């Protein structure tokens, strides 16, 4: 069973990235915020781009998020986003807000942009102040280009405990012409979104209004970034930001456009790809776990149960140990707030069915263990109560997760 189903109209661009759409440049450098790795990046559109974003629901939203929200209120148009790693600029009071505004102002001045058309993002350690002299000098050193090297430089500069950069690109036809979307993301720990606990930046050359883009992003996020979990913790800095510069030159998209669903599929595929890369790269993870729940009364019920399963530490540790303990899956299902019939549940791990109508089946432990030793694991649950279907993605829980987070600041 293939959980990732790209619609036939949507085509993945091999080796595509954040600069695959027309009219975008990027850069990433080492500004000295980290010991040696790149830590400051920027994406710039050639023209002002209609934009939309969704933000973490953590009550302690960091200063950069508040500044970006303010920028978007000025008509929903952005031309650049500047991002630093190493320091989250969260829980830093008035000074933190001042520093976030200064990042925006310095970026606008350096690239001759309108100040409120610059977004700001930060990621890293909470409760530390940005070294603003290094940030200011770094902004002046950024040289955005439309090259593969600079796309990779940006994608690397936003990482924290990630082990790999995360990128993808897709295309679809709208009005008979090709539109392209590219994405870059970071995220490895503190992943349990009530929006999207990570940073993701998406570019597209489609022509779409900011209000329609926001509607599409909320819909795509609900089925992708909101369905991943690594460790059950949410963070303070996280957002998904989309910039659409209209360089594809088709009629402006709205819900009434005949190709609207093509765009929804394009955005959903991009978000799902990035979400799965984040889940696979969970701190200390050795396996990507995909859960599909079907036969629920509603799609929302199915999504809730899928995420309950993927978020269970007992399920995650069983997957790490290659232990086909389906009892932990049934336990997680029972903990959800969704009311179900407890007499009709089927559970399979991969193609191996272990429970049918809530009664155990004989299965080969050796075959199950061999399957669980792979790096991608599928759990399928059928509730036999309706047509609802939902998916969620996560990872196993290993000893290394504790090691990484026990010494995060050191």
User: Is 111 strand, coil or helix?
Assistant: coil
Q: Are residues 269 and 325 in the same domain?
A: no
Q: Is residue 5 in some structural domain?
A: no
Confidence of residue 398 (pLDDT cuts 50, 70, 90): confident
pLDDT digits (tens, 9 = 90+) for 309-346: 998 889 989 999 999 999 999 999 999 999 999 999 99
Report which DSSP code applies to 394.
E
Cα dihedral 65, 312, 187, 219, rounded to 10, equals -60
**347 beta partners:** 355, 381
Confidence of residue 6 (pLDDT cuts 50, 70, 90): very low
pLDDT at 405: 58
CA dist 338 and 151 (Å) reads 43
Q: Are residues 301 and 214 in the same domain?
A: no
Q: Are residues 400 and 271 in the same domain?
A: no
pLDDT digits (tens, 9 = 90+) for 218-251: 999 988 988 886 544 566 888 899 999 999 999 9
pLDDT at 283: 60
Neighbours of 366 (CB within 10 A): 9
Whether the pLDDT of residue 383 is over 60: the answer is yes
CA dist 280 and 187 (Å) reads 10
Q: Is residue 3 in some structural domain?
A: no
Q: Are residues 269 and 302 in the same domain?
A: no
Asked if 221 and 195 count as a contact pair (C-beta separation under 8 A), the reply is: yes
pLDDT at 228: 82
Closest CA to 272 of 375, 171, 349, 200: 200
Q: Are residues 276 and 371 in the same domain?
A: no
Q: Are residues 55 and 132 in the same domain?
A: yes
pLDDT at 60: 85
pLDDT at 410: 53
Question: The tokens 């009664």 sit on which residue?
Answer: 359
Q: Which of 239, 259, 280 is the last residue of a domain?
A: 280
Q: Is residue 72 in some structural domain?
A: yes
DSSP assignment string, 248-295: T-PPPB-TTSTTHHHHHHHHHHHHHHHHHHHHHT-TT---EEEEEEEE
Question: The tokens 């050796």 sit on which residue?
Answer: 366
Q: Are residues 141 and 264 in the same domain?
A: yes
pLDDT at 282: 64
- CATH number, domain of 170, equals 3.60.70.12
Handedness of CA 229, 230, 233, 238 (dihedral sign): negative
Q: Is residue 213 in some structural domain?
A: yes
One-letter-per-residue 3-state SS of 204-238: ECCCECHHHHHHHHHHHHHHCHHHEECCCCCCCCC
pLDDT at 144: 98
Q: H helices within 11-169, ranges in order?
A: 63-73, 93-110, 132-141, 148-157
Backbone angles phi, psi at 3, to 5 degrees: -70, -35
Average pLDDT over residues 133-150: 98
Q: Is residue 217 in some structural domain?
A: yes
Report which DSSP code applies to 87.
B
Q: Are residues 368 and 347 in the same domain?
A: yes
CA 260 from chain centre, in angstroms, equals 22
Whether the pLDDT of residue 194 is over 50: the answer is no
Q: Are residues 227 and 297 in the same domain?
A: no
Q: Are residues 200 and 99 in the same domain?
A: yes
Confidence of residue 192 (pLDDT cuts 50, 70, 90): very low
pLDDT digits (tens, 9 = 90+) for 85-99: 999 999 999 999 999
Q: Are residues 237 and 319 in the same domain?
A: no
Q: Which helix (H) or strand (E) holds 371?
A: helix 365-372
Q: Are residues 313 and 340 in the same domain?
A: yes
Asked if 279 and 377 count as a contact pair (C-beta separation under 8 A), the reply is: no
Q: Is residue 1 in some structural domain?
A: no
pLDDT at 153: 98
Q: Which helix (H) or strand (E) holds 350?
A: none
The mean pLDDT value of the chain amounts to: 90
Q: Which of 237, 263, 280 is the last residue of a domain?
A: 280
Q: Is residue 166 in some structural domain?
A: yes
Cα distances (Å, whole numbers) of residue 260 to 175, 255, 408: 10, 6, 43
User: Is 48 strand, coil or helix?
Assistant: strand
Asked if 122 and 83 count as a contact pair (C-beta separation under 8 A), the reply is: yes
Closest CA to 62 of 120, 132, 134, 104: 120
The two three-digit tokens of residue 193, written as one number: 């979104």
| Active site amino acids | 197
Q: Which of 226, 250, 280 is the last residue of a domain?
A: 280
- CATH number, domain of 393, equals 3.10.20.340
Q: Is residue 245 in some structural domain?
A: yes
Q: What percent of the chain has pLDDT over 90?
A: 76
Domain that holds residue 181: 11-280
Total structural domains in the chain?
2
CA 250 from chain centre, in angstroms, equals 28
């Amino acid at each position: 069973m293939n959980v990732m189903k790209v619609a036939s109209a949507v085509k993945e661009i091999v080796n595509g990235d954040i600069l695959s759409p027309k009219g975008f440049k990027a850069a990433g450098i080492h500004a000295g915020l980290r010991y040696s790795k790149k830590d400051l990046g920027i994406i710039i559109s050639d023209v002002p781009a209609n934009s939309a974003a969704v933000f973490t629901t953590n009550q302690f939203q960091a200063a950069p998020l508040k500044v970006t929200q303010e920028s978007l209120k000025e008509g929903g148009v952005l031309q650049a986003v500047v991002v630093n790693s190493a320091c989250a600029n969260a829980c830093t009071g008035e000074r933190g807000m001042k520093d976030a505004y200064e990042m925006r102002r310095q970026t606008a001045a350096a690239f001759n942009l309108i100040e409120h058309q610059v977004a700001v993002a930060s990621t890293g350690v909470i409760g530390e102040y940005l070294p603003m002299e290094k940030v200011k000098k770094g902004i002046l050193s950024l040289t955005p280009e439309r090259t593969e090297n600079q796309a990779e430089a940006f994608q690397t500069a936003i990482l924290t405990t990630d082990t790999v950069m995360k990128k993808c690109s897709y295309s679809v036809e709208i009005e008979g012409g090709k539109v392209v979307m590219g994405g870059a993301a970071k995220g490895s720990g503190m992943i349990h979104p009530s929006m999207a606990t990570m940073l993701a930046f998406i570019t597209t050359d489609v022509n779409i209004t900011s209000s329609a883009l926001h509607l599409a992003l909320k819909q795509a996020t609900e089925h992708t970034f909101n369905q991943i979990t690594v460790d059950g913790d949410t963070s303070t800095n996280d957002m998904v930001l989309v910039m659409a510069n209209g360089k594809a030159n088709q009629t402006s998209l709205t819900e009434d456009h005949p190709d609207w669903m093509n765009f929804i599929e394009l955005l959903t595929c991009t978000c799902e790809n990035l979400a799965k890369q984040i889940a696979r790269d969970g701190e200390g993870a050795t396996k990507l776990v995909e859960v599909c729940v079907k036969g629920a009364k509603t799609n929302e019920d199915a999504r809730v149960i899928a995420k309950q399963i993927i978020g269970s530490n007992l399920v995650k540790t069983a997957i790490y140990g290659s232990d086909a303990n389906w009892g932990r899956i049934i336990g997680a299902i029972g903990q959800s707030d969704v009311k179900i019939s407890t007499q009709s549940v089927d559970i399979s791990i991969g193609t191996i069915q272990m429970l049918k109508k809530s009664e155990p089946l004989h299965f080969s432990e050796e075959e199950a263990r061999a399957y669980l030793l792979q790096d991608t694991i599928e759990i399928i649950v059928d509730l036999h109560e309706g047509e609802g279907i939902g998916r969620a993605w996560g990872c196993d829980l290993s000893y290394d997760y504790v090691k990484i987070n026990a010494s995060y600041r050191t």
